[in-house]
Structure 1
Amino acid sequence: MADAKPKDETPGKPPKARKGGMLKTLGLGLAFILAAGAAGLGATVGVLKFGSSYLPGKAAESGHAPSTASLVLPIEYVEIDTPFTSNLVDTGRYLQVRLSVGTTAGPAVVAAVTRHKPAIISAVLGVLGEATEADVADRAAKDAMRVKVREAINAVLRGRGVAGAVDEVFFTSLVIQ
């Protein structure tokens, strides 16, 4: 038998194009245009929100670096690994607390917390030494206690010339017996 030719091929006529070829090309082109538009929109929003000094090379052209006042530093945590134990003033019970502190003031405050740890421990023990059963009775009372501890730690840091402060105090363990 002779070679059979497909029905679509007739002499002198070009072969049929595959279906969907044009749609694929248009789809890829549209995807490229949308991606470029999204990138341009993102750059525009970034410049409007953060200013042109955040673009590469713009800080050098303008003669100044971006202001750190407008930047938000990430929170850093420091665990005070000493367990604090103190008698409650109004009962024969005692309180044992472990805590961590959080600061957004940067590495200088983190280093200061570590450097002045003995003074911080003493200040925290002073606050806990004045605690009563009511000071640790419920969540609101414990939150007020955390504020007192934070203020005592910040007073220690200020007294040693540290610029910046501890933003939060976290009780990582609290036992009353």
Structure 2
Amino acid sequence: MSDNNPEEEEKPKKKKGKMKGLIIGLLVVAVVGGGGAAGGFYVAGSMGGENVEPEDPNKPKIVLKDGTEVSEREAKTAMPSENENKFKVTYHQIEQPFTSNLSHSESFAQMSLAISTYYDERVFENVTEHEIALRSAVLLELGQQDPIELETPAGKVKLKGKLRDVINATLKEKAGFGGIEDVYFTSLVIQ
């Protein structure tokens, strides 16, 4: 019996040794393969960034505070931190006021707007060129507003955001580029 026992004991040890070697081998393959795949994705991502299409020369440029005009790609490296704004803000007053009836009421609103951008004067040239389409879009948005909501500060802020989005969408449709950063009420009367 003692002859049989050592052989039986050796067999399980060999199985454990083979199993341990197999597990270690699989782990090494997984780590090396995963590292190779991660490296491949990193290199592919890095190379993919270099093949970006050139920017349209007719697209407005972002203006830095020192007056330098840069492309959007260059501006991304100069993006402002929360405490510091490196871009020059330019404002434009829309001359004629907007007057519209408000949704589901006998009330109406009259407002005057100004807009701002970090881009060059081409944005405001587009605003002037497409003013009729912009006025129509703003009036349609204004006519959908609830007069009770517009009486609150939060309602006014919400309307500002909607007007900015409507103006940018109209400019993108008509001129191929939006560029409006913010909308400002220079007067707002709700009756």
Indicate the TM-score class for this superposition, using the shorter chain for normalisation.
0.5 to 0.7
Identity of aligned residues (%): 36
Of the candidates 138, 145, 154, which is equivalent to residue 152 of structure 2? 138
Q: TM-score, normalised by structure 1?
A: 0.58
User: In structure 2, what residue type is equivalent to 1:111?
Assistant: E
How large is the Cα RMSD of the aligned pairs? 1.6
Measured after TM superposition, the shift of residue 73 of structure 1 is: 3.4
1:61-110 CA-to-partner distances (Å, cap 9, x unmatched) read: xxxxxx84245431111111111111111221111010000011221112
User: In structure 2, what residue type is equivalent to 1:115?
Assistant: E
Query: What residue is the counterpart of 2:40 in the other structure?
Result: none
> Given that residues 89 and 130 in structure 1 are in contact (C-alpha distance below 8 angstroms), is that contact kept between their aligned partners in structure 2?
yes
> Which deviates more, 155-164 or 93-102?
155-164
Of the candidates 75, 96, 117, which is equivalent to residue 89 of structure 2? 75
1:114, 1:81 → 2: CA distance?
Answer: 10
Q: For residue 152 of structure 1, give the secondary structure of its aligned residue in structure 2.
A: helix
Matches within 5 A, 1:1-177: 68-69=74-75, 70=77, 72-177=86-191
Measured after TM superposition, the shift of residue 161 of structure 1 is: 3.4
Q: TM-score, normalised by structure 2?
A: 0.54
1:149, 1:135 → 2: CA distance?
Answer: 15
User: In structure 1, what residue type is equivalent to 2:185?
Assistant: F
> Given that residues 105 and 164 in structure 1 are in contact (C-alpha distance below 8 angstroms), is that contact kept between their aligned partners in structure 2?
no
User: In structure 1, what residue type is equivalent to 2:107?
Assistant: R
Structure 2, unmatched stretches of 5+, are 1-72, 79-85
> Given that residues 168 and 177 in structure 2 are in contact (C-alpha distance below 8 angstroms), is that contact kept between their aligned partners in structure 1?
no
Distance 1:95 1:164, change over 3 A: closer
Q: For residue 166 of structure 1, give the secondary structure of its aligned residue in structure 2.
A: coil
User: In structure 2, what residue type is equivalent to 1:128?
Assistant: L
Structure 1, unmatched stretches of 5+, are 1-66
Greater CA radius of gyration, 1 or 2?
Answer: 1
Paired residue total: 111
2:89, 2:188 → 1: CA distance?
Answer: 23
